[in-house]
Structure 1
């Protein structure tokens, strides 16, 4: 019979898994690369109204003295790879050692979509990439095929083929030149030990991926696991079954949830509201928010990203971040970074939280982020 836990326990376990340090430390993560290794994946998004998605996610889990400009250099260092870029449903960056865990996903993409890359195009792209030690940018590859170029959301046919080859594992992105992604050959860019691990039996990979997700999420249902890596419900359930996770029932929930056995060795803080100065801003693509249904179920936080919603139809604002205090999301704020300032346009407390208390925590969280971004802070 699975143990029964409260929704408060789940919230505490989920937040504890994020390893968000208190103002005075100590911090478990020393740089963005260690954040990535701990979390397993970080969603990417190019919007820079406040900062990029990977920077916001990492800064929340780093010490207060961490700076935004150091994040990318840590995730894509010039001298050796520590990460690779791939897709769940969206673009993400993963720790290099997790390349084997996504093998079955790459094989599934090849089986379904491999025919879309013509053999002569594939061979030519591989030749071009091979001729560029350190990897080749999209523009370099496109230039060898003709005048068509990728502009914004319009991808050239060569760009589409190249990206599909990344999803199938013919190519890998482990480095960047500034913001430009560099496509390389897996056999050249990845360490030999990573390649050897790729040949583990499929069930070992399925179980490993489930354990990886459980560690990163703290507590997960089958649906949470499926969303995290964009798996089918059946594949996710199979992975959970193989992973020797501990099942638990949550009071008032239909879903069974699962945790790593090691999660039960630590006492979980079920307290709600945290101190004012410990509040942190949570980005729209942060693991605490990127699965909107999960955020609603765990935190009661109903979140819609409104950047692409017409201005007249927005409920809150263009780029709204959550405010985490203790184990609860207690408010939200619409922000943007402009001319050396982090501007807080407006703040909203969540239902049930006093406005003054929520605003004090939002202000403290915004001060922390402004310091990490190297900006001044302008409040409403």
Structure 2
């Protein structure tokens, strides 16, 4: 098939629309999760945790954090897996891969050596679940060495392994602590069945739908070389794949752009190569840099206006004083008066959503 020829602004429009960052805002949490494929969970909360800023940047003022909890814990329309909330419609496509996990030999050996421990955890959940990890005794025969993220307790490791195999599931959270139960008591029991090949194909299509246009790459995009249709972007040497449904609407009337503050762990920012290629935006997360080496701030949020990255918002919430403190609004190129007004208005809306007052805004 001959590759589609796209102008760079068309490619950017595909991405912005696929990420629900155009002026036509989505209506609710489930709509966002269905389109994006996942909502990343991360506790770094200079402004608010990732899952909430991702949703607010799409839905706007009508989003409340309790809505996310409801669709996960009460309605079971989303489920938590591998550090993200995902739409339940993706679970049938993930199950074939989960059933053959793990593929790494060291993980298989650890599970085999801890067969009795595995049985203990499942029996405890069956009898007493849902439970926090702290409620489950560690009866491991063989321990995994601490990795910097977890301690010597083997229960979190076993629960994570069983989650990846589809044996257990997360029912909700108490603060940042996960509650666990048997998967059969959490996931729907009437899910459609797919063989591994079909599930893999459909999952790649969903990932391309969330990207709009993507580099085929197992890790960076999860999009295969045969997913969607081939595309070439002017001035680029990258062989892209494009979502045909999104492409068919790429030249539809655009009702205008808007301002969006993007959480550093949001999915649009994940593929740095695509960011540079399509948006001419080089993004470096400075969270783990020494303070003296930071240019924009510890956890600065990129500022998108329409389909252009125009600045970086360095801000933090002071809950004790009920303030949103604006340390800096870094302009990648000088704002014109209309852009400055739009950015300031979005900051004001953000503070109102957080229930605090803005300070430091110029």
CA distance in 2, matches of 1:21, 1:131: 48
Candidates 362, 375, 378, aligned match of 2:343: 362
1:139–1:115: structure 2 CA closer, same or farther, 3 Å change rule? same
Aligned equivalent of 1:165 = 162
Q: Is the 8 A contact 1:323 1:329 kept in 2?
A: yes
Of Structure 1 and Structure 2, the greater helix share is in: 1
Partner of 2:282: 302
Shift of 1:128: 1.1
- C-alpha displacement at 1:268, in angstroms? 3.5
**Gaps in structure 1 of 5+ consecutive residues:** 230-235
Q: Equivalent residue for 1:138?
A: 133
**Native 8 Å contact 2:132 2:180 kept in 1:** yes
Alignment RMSD (CA, Å) = 2.7
**Does 2:219 correspond to 1:226?**
yes
1:111 to 81, 98, 103: 103
Q: Is residue 20–residue 62 contact of structure 1 (8 Å, CA) maintained in 2?
A: no
Note if contact 2:215-2:221 (Cα within 8 Å) is conserved in structure 1.
Answer: no
| Aligned match of 2:332 | 350
The offset of 1:175, in angstroms, is: 2.3
List aligned pairs for 1:176-195, cutoff 5 A: 176-194=173-191
Quote how far apart the aligned CAs of 1:144 are.
7.5
Q: Deviations over 1:38-58 (max 9, x none)?
A: 211111111122111110101
Normalized against structure 1, the TM-score is what?
0.83
- The aligned residue for residue 100 of structure 1 is 92
Residues 15 and 213, structure 2, Cα contact 8 Å, conserved in 1 = yes
**Aligned pair partner of 1:72 in 68, 74, 78:** 68
1:226 aligned counterpart, secondary structure: coil
Q: Does 1:49 align with 2:51?
A: no
Q: Paired residue for 2:207, among 191, 197, 213?
A: 213
Does the 8 A contact of 2:16 with 2:22 survive in 1? no
1:293 aligns with 2:311: no
Q: Give the Å deviation of 1:120.
A: 0.6
TM-score by length of 2: 0.87
The answer to whether the 8 Å contact 1:21/1:27 transfers is yes
Checking the alignment, whether the CA contact within 8 Å between 1:4 and 1:249 is kept in structure 2 is: yes
For 1:51 and 1:16, locate their aligned partners in 2 and report how far apart those are by CA, in whole Å: 24
User: Which among 116, 119, 123 is matched to residue 123 of structure 1?
Assistant: 119
Post-superposition offset of 1:207: 1.0
Q: Deviations over 1:90-147 (max 9, x none)?
A: x2221112112223442453232232221011111111111234x221111147789x
Task: Tell which deviates more after alignment, 105-114 or 305-314.
Answer: 105-114
1:257 aligns with 2:240: yes
Q: Give yes or no for contact 1:33–1:74 (8 Å, CA) kept in 2.
A: no
* Higher alpha-carbon deviation: 99-108 or 161-170: 99-108
Report the equivalent of 2:261: 281
Question: 2:332 and 2:137 mapped to 1: Cα distance?
Answer: 49
Cα distance in 1, alignment partners of residues 231 and 253 from structure 2: 16
Report if the CA contact (8 A) 1:7-1:298 is conserved: yes
1:131 partner SS: helix
- Corresponding residue SS for 1:73: helix
